[in-house]
């Protein structure tokens, strides 16, 4: 079973790592894969895909059980999650797509959103003050082991509380000349400072 957290990671922060580790623990997996959304279809990014990829690699390098994938960086065109899910599934793996509960609200705007329920399971990171509603075709389960018994179409809600951190908060803080080091790994904070990213 392959659990994937896709994101713009502009930049990757402790909330992402904490969420990925919660999934690894609660689903009993050896690893979780962070996939960089190189060209996100619904938004722009402040940093280049190359800088975001470097930061993602730096953040993962000292985390046990966190892998990174540049599959969307190498693929041309917009970074559609469904294409990434299909790519991993073609290797025969059951895919668990991880997303924050804020992402569920926009689910119906996703490219080929109706195809998700027959392509993957969902693992939802419950971010503070955001409710969880299962998207069409998904059925919620409270049993982590059910994800291994079924191929697709289940939604599992993480029990661990998530951190109240966002990349927007990191960027805003840096643009104001603030210290965002507590929201990032030391290597990512150093990279941002060395490259002068997000200064506004």
Is 173:23 a contact under the CB 8 Å cutoff?
no
Sheet of strand 139-141, all strands in order from the earlier edge strand to the far edge: 66-69, 32-36, 2-7, 95-100, 121-125, 154-157, 139-141
Pairing assessment for the beta strands 139-141 and 95-100 based on DSSP bridges: unpaired
Q: Is 11 in the site for ligand ATP (CB under 6 A)?
A: no
Q: Which is nearer to ligand ATP, 20 or 147 (CB)?
A: 20
87 binds ligand ATP (CB under 6 A): no
Which of 2, 16, 24, 121 touches ligand ATP (CB under 6 A)? 16
Q: Report how far apart, in Å, the C-alpha atoms of 23 and of each of 95, 182, 191 are.
A: 13, 22, 27
Residue placing its CB nearer to ligand ATP in the complex, 149 or 164: 164
Tell me the site size for ligand ATP, rule CB under 6 A.
Answer: 20
Vertex 41, ends 124 and 69: CA angle to 5°? 60
127 to 166: interface string for ligand ATP, x by CB under 6 A: x----------------------------------xx-xx
Distance CA 64, CA 105 (A): 31
- x/- mask, ligand ATP, residues 18-57, rule CB under 6 A, reads -x--------------------------------------
- How far is residue 65's CA from residue 33's CA, in Å, rounded to a whole number? 9
For the bound state, the minimum distance from the C-beta of residue 87 to ligand ATP, rounded and expressed in Å, comes to: 19
Give the nearer residue to ligand ATP in terms of CB position, either 49 or 149.
Answer: 49
Site string for ligand ATP, 101-130 (x = CB under 6 A): -xx---------------------x-x---
Whether the bond between 11 and the residue before it is cis, its omega within 30 degrees of 0, is yes
Which is closer to ligand ATP, CB of 8 or CB of 68?
A: 8
CA-CA distance, 110 to 114, in Å (whole number)? 9
């Amino acid at each position: 079973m392959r659990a994937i957290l896709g994101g713009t990671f502009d930049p990757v922060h402790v909330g992402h790592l904490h969420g990925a580790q919660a999934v690894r623990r609660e689903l009993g997996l050896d690893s979780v894969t962070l996939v960089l959304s190189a060209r996100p279809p619904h938004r722009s990014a402040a940093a280049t895909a190359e800088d975001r990829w470097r930061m993602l690699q730096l953040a993962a390098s000292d985390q046990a059980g966190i892998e990174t994938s540049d599959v969307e960086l190498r693929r041309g065109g917009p970074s559609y999650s469904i294409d990434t899910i299909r790519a991993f599934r073609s290797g025969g793996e059951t895919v668990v797509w991880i997303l924050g509960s804020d992402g569920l609200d926009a689910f119906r705007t996703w490219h080929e959103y109706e195809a998700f329920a027959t392509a993957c399971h969902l693992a939802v990171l419950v971010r503070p003050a955001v409710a969880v509603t299962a998207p069409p075709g998904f059925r919620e389960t409270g049993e982590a082991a059910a994800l291994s018994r079924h191929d697709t179409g289940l939604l599992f809600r993480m029990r661990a509380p998530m951190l109240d951190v966002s990349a927007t908060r990191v960027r805003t803080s840096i643009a104001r000349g603030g210290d965002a080091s507590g929201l990032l790994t030391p290597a990512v904070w150093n990279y941002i400072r060395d490259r002068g990213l997000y200064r506004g």
